């Protein structure tokens, strides 16, 4: 594995890595026409599976008829009084912080008239995780959605968006974490193999507020979940975690943007992915921007991928842009590797059979992220899902040794 690492000590003298365009200056628009059709050369489409995403580029009516492309299983939220009616594009707080950054997101904005608005009441703690079940009704069904998640001041909650079934689903998730709120949001992509899902998550985290944002992608054909988080308030905290397991034919993408805007904010980005099978593909682009006024920032981002078999490919592009020198620390790391022969040797030298040793190494690799969820029932289910993925890949030949 190769690792690049910048410690705070180095930062004082090192030139910041400056992307061609500051990430926060990317154009936004509510009108799909303003974006045109992507060619695949654009920075935010360059590594995407545009061919399979094409159905989501069609600006068409998707809310006609009785059957919708996605069934929203939100009865549990309704019972707990967490749903608020949102009618029309202008219904506040819809659009308070959300600005579409690509054509799919703009279409989703335009074609979704009534948002799903989840509000976590002020000062209340939700003892149990709140789970919204989004089920796709067919691989040929095109659906567009705008979801607003509003964590009111002082609220504490864990919210899960669980996706299953199949659909062609474009989704905007607008996440407002008001001052002093603590929100854990987990988006689980447990789709069927033929689902196509493109999601734009945009979050703003207020003063002394905390957001743990987690993207878990095991299922689906093409899954593109791009979280963009602004740590806007003084001492806002953001933990952005991702876990993916790409099998043959799956394209799993996350373009992550963490913007330190406020003073003394803390950010931690960790995305880990495993890949197995011919054509398994993952793309991770991680941008961290430390703004002009973001003094006292503490930021770290890391992406690691483990390639389990030949024929799989992981792209990993970390960017760090720092506009103020007065920070507590910032660093980034990226590594993509195959099985570490020395790890396998160590385990086998203790009597553990090769296949079991591989299993331990992969599970251990991914568990680092799972362990950060902090919700035991979700952690257990994910550990099971990882085991299931490994069983699926059990017959595949392991990745050939580096350099062989």
Partner 1 sequence: MSVLDIKDLQVSIETEQGKKEILRGVDLTINSDEIHAIMGPNGSGKSTLAYTIAGHPRYTVEGGSITLDGEDVLEMSVDERARAGLFLAMQYPVEIPGVTVSNFLRTAKTAIAGEAPRVREWIGDVRGAMEKLRMDSSFGERNVNEGFSGGEKKRHEILQMELLRPRFAVLDETDSGLDVDALRIVSEGVNRIKAETGLGVLLITHYTRILRYIQPDHVHVFVNGRVAEQGGPELAHRLEEEGYDRYLKAGV
| Interaction of residue 357 with partner 1, rule CB under 8 A | yes
| Interaction of residue 2 with partner 1, rule CB under 8 A | no
Of 47, 275, 366, 385, the residue at the interface with partner 1 (CB under 8 A) is 366
Contact region for partner 1 (CB under 8 A) — 125-133, 174-182, 185-193, 346-354?
346-354
Of 361, 373, 382, 385, the residue at the interface with partner 1 (CB under 8 A) is 361
**288: which residues sit within 8 A by CB, 6+ positions away?**
257, 258, 259, 260, 267, 269, 299, 301, 318, 319, 320, 321, 330, 332
Q: H-helix or E-strand containing 133? A: strand 130-151
140, burial (CB in 10 Å: exposed 0-12, middle 13-18, buried 19+): exposed
Residue 327 per-residue DSSP state: -
Spell out where 20-79 has E strands. 70-73
| Interaction of residue 58 with partner 1, rule CB under 8 A | no
Of 25, 79, 292, 342, the residue at the interface with partner 1 (CB under 8 A) is 342
d(CA 285, CA 320): 11
CB count in 10 Å sphere of residue 310: 14
Nearer to partner 1, 22 or 371 (CB): 371
Of 122, 125, 128, 341, the residue at the interface with partner 1 (CB under 8 A) is 341
Nearer to partner 1, 244 or 248 (CB): 244
| Interaction of residue 64 with partner 1, rule CB under 8 A | no
Contact region for partner 1 (CB under 8 A) — 8-16, 19-27, 206-214, 357-365?
357-365
| Interaction of residue 97 with partner 1, rule CB under 8 A | no
Query: Would you call the peptide bond into 61 cis, given omega within 30 degrees of 0 as the criterion?
Result: no
Which of 237, 206, 212, 211 minimizes the C-alpha distance to 93? 206
The answer to whether the beta carbons of residues 144 and 55 sit under 8 Å apart is no
| Interaction of residue 360 with partner 1, rule CB under 8 A | yes
d(CA 120, CA 188): 20
| Interaction of residue 340 with partner 1, rule CB under 8 A | yes
Of 356, 377, 380, 384, the residue at the interface with partner 1 (CB under 8 A) is 356
**314: which residues sit within 8 A by CB, 6+ positions away?**
273, 275, 281, 282, 283, 284, 305, 307, 336
| Interaction of residue 218 with partner 1, rule CB under 8 A | no
Nearer to partner 1, 116 or 361 (CB): 361
Angle between helices 376-392 and 354-370 (to 10 degrees): 150
Of 84, 131, 367, 396, the residue at the interface with partner 1 (CB under 8 A) is 367
Query: Which is it for the CA torsion 71, 77, 81, 86, positive or negative?
Result: negative
Residue 125 per-residue DSSP state: B
| Interaction of residue 383 with partner 1, rule CB under 8 A | no
| Interaction of residue 3 with partner 1, rule CB under 8 A | no
Contact region for partner 1 (CB under 8 A) — 131-139, 157-165, 283-291, 356-364?
356-364
Contact region for partner 1 (CB under 8 A) — 136-144, 209-217, 347-355, 390-398?
347-355
Q: H-helix or E-strand containing 2? A: none
CA 28 to each of CA 72, 92, 101: distance values in angstroms, whole numbers, following the listed order = 28, 19, 5
Of 128, 354, 380, 387, the residue at the interface with partner 1 (CB under 8 A) is 354
Which of 262, 259, 222 minimizes the C-alpha distance to 240? 259
Of 114, 124, 295, 343, the residue at the interface with partner 1 (CB under 8 A) is 343
Site string for partner 1, 290-329 (x = CB under 8 A): ----------------------------------------
Q: Which residues pair with 396 in a beta bridge?
A: none
Q: How far apart are the first and last CA of the chain?
A: 15
Nearer to partner 1, 85 or 342 (CB): 342
| Interaction of residue 193 with partner 1, rule CB under 8 A | no
**62: which residues sit within 8 A by CB, 6+ positions away?**
69, 111, 142, 143, 144
Nearer to partner 1, 108 or 274 (CB): 274
Contact region for partner 1 (CB under 8 A) — 39-47, 147-155, 259-267, 340-348?
340-348
Give residues 132-161 in contact with partner 1 (rule: CB under 8 A): none
Contact region for partner 1 (CB under 8 A) — 177-185, 256-264, 293-301, 342-350?
342-350
Which residues are near partner 1 by CB under 8 A? 340-343, 345-354, 356-357, 360-361, 363-368, 371
């Amino acid at each position: 594995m190769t690792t690049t690492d910048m410690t705070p000590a180095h930062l004082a003298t090192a030139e910041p890595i400056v992307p061609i365009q500051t990430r926060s200056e990317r154009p936004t628009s509510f009108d799909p026409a303003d974006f045109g059709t992507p060619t695949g050369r654009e920075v935010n489409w360059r590594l995407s599976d545009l061919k399979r995403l094409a159905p989501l580029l069609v600006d068409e009516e998707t809310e006609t008829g009785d059957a919708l492309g996605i069934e929203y299983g939100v009865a549990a939220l309704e019972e707990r009084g967490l749903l608020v009616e949102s009618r029309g594009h202008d219904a506040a707080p819809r659009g308070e912080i959300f600005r579409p950054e690509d054509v799919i997101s703009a279409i989703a904005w335009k074609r979704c008239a009534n948002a799903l608005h989840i509000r976590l009441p002020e000062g209340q703690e939700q003892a149990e995780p709140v789970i919204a079940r989004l089920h796709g009704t067919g691989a040929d069904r095109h659906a567009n959605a705008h979801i607003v998640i509003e964590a009111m001041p002082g609220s504490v909650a864990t919210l899960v968006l669980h996706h299953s079934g199949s659909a062609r689903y474009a989704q905007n998730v607008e996440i407002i974490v008001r001052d002093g709120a603590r929100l854990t949001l987990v988006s689980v992509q447990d789709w069927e193999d033929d689902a196509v899902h493109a999601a734009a998550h945009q979050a703003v985290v207020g003063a002394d507020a905390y957001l743990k944002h987690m993207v878990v992608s095991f299922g689906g054909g093409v899954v593109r979940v791009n979280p963009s988080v602004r740590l806007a308030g003084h001492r806002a905290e953001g933990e952005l975690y991702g876990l993916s397991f790409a099998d043959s034919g799956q394209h799993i993408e996350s373009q992550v943007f963490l913007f330190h805007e406020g003073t003394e904010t803390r950010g931690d980005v960790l995305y880990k992915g495993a890949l197995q099978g011919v054509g398994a593909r993952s793309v991770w682009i991680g941008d961290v921007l430390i703004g002009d006024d973001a003094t006292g920032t503490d930021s770290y981002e890391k992406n690691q991928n483990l390639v389990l078999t030949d024929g799989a490919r992981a792209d990993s592009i970390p960017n760090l842009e720092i506009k103020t020198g007065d920070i507590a620390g910032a660093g980034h790391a990226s590594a993509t590797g195959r099985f570490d022969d020395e790890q396998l040797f160590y385990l086998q030298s203790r009597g553990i059979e090769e296949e079991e040793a591989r299993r331990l190494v992969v599970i251990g690799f991914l568990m680092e992220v799972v362990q950060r969820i902090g919700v035991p029932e979700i952690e257990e289910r994910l550990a099971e899902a990882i085991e299931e993925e490994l069983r699926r890949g059990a017959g595949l030949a392991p990745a050939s040794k580096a350099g062989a």
